[in-house]
Amino acid sequence: MSEQLIGRFDMEMKSPSCTPGASWWGVKISLDDDISKVFPFLNAELKDADYNHKEKVLLWDSDKGFRCAFRPNEIAIAPVEDREVAQQICDDAIDMLNDIWNRRNQIEPNVAGKAPPPSMIQLLKLLPGTNCKECGYPTCMAFAAGLIKRQAELSGCPHLSSEA
């Protein structure tokens, strides 16, 4: 039998105070019940979620272009273009949370936070260090800097071992 994590909720649209006159909105969903018990399962299911288990906050960037902040009694979502889109996004978010809660017995909960990105030194240790320029950068260090700035892709170095 399915069990609803979230039943009733209130949705409110807010003009972003940080960007007066913006053509987008922020949405706040207020919840009667504390939903933090689903966060470890949500963290396990969502790709690239940024979870703080102690603070009970989970941030997630949807591939549809908006960011969600899940807190025990609130979900904030932005940017949203209008009320119709906001309603759809809210319904989808609530459905997703209820679905994950119903499937929690099949999900390994994850309370770990997002791993920090590797440092320049860590990246350099993984690169061959031959400065062969085949990646289009003059040195391995320049390629590593490109990776950190997200201007280069790992696949750009043909000499990278599969382990690295």
Binding site residues, ligand SF4, CB under 6 A = 127-128, 130-135, 137, 140, 143, 157, 159
Cβ–Cβ < 8 Å for 49, 70? no
Least distance CB 126 / ligand SF4 (angstroms): 10
Least distance CB 152 / ligand SF4 (angstroms): 9
Of the two residues 13 and 154, which places its CB atom closer to ligand SF4 in the complex? 154
Of the two residues 27 and 140, which places its CB atom closer to ligand SF4 in the complex? 140
Of the two residues 14 and 125, which places its CB atom closer to ligand SF4 in the complex? 125
Q: Is the peptide bond before 79 cis (omega within 30 degrees of 0)?
A: yes
Cβ–Cβ < 8 Å for 122, 56? no
Q: Which three-class secondary structure string do you get for 57-72?
A: EEEEECCCCCEEEEEC
Of the two residues 107 and 141, which places its CB atom closer to ligand SF4 in the complex? 141
Rounded-to-integer distance, Cα 43 and Cα 51, Å? 7
Rounded-to-integer distance, Cα 143 and Cα 127, Å? 9
Least distance CB 100 / ligand SF4 (angstroms): 40
Least distance CB 156 / ligand SF4 (angstroms): 7
Least distance CB 115 / ligand SF4 (angstroms): 22
Rounded-to-integer distance, Cα 141 and Cα 68, Å? 35
Of the two residues 106 and 161, which places its CB atom closer to ligand SF4 in the complex? 161
**Edge-to-edge strands of the sheet including 67-71?**
9-14, 25-31, 74-80, 67-71, 57-61, 50-52
